[in-house]
Amino acid sequence: MSRQHALMLALALEILVVGAYNADRYRRPGISVDMPLTRGHVIV
């Protein structure tokens, strides 16, 4: 495997890890009308 392919693979892995981390932290804007028992779910 060439160095260029290794760098592209490392970049793709980093994007997946950072994306998964940011997706877990993201909260959609909305006004909470009823808070269900499932964390992260908001009924608006």
Q: Does the pLDDT of residue 5 top 70, yes or no?
A: yes
Confidence (pLDDT) at 1 = 79
Confidence (pLDDT) at 6 = 96
Q: How many CA atoms lie within 13 A of 5 on its CB side?
A: 2
Q: CB atoms < 10 A from the CB of 41, how many?
A: 9
More confident residue, 7 or 19: 7
Buried b / exposed e along 11-35 (16+ C-beta atoms within 10 A):
eeeeeeeeeeeeeeeeeeeeeeeee
Q: Does the pLDDT of residue 44 top 60, yes or no?
A: no
What's the CA gap between 25 and 38, in Å, rounded? 16
8-43 pLDDT tens trace? 999 999 999 988 888 777 666 666 566 666 666 666
**14 in Cβ contact with 4 (< 8 Å):** no
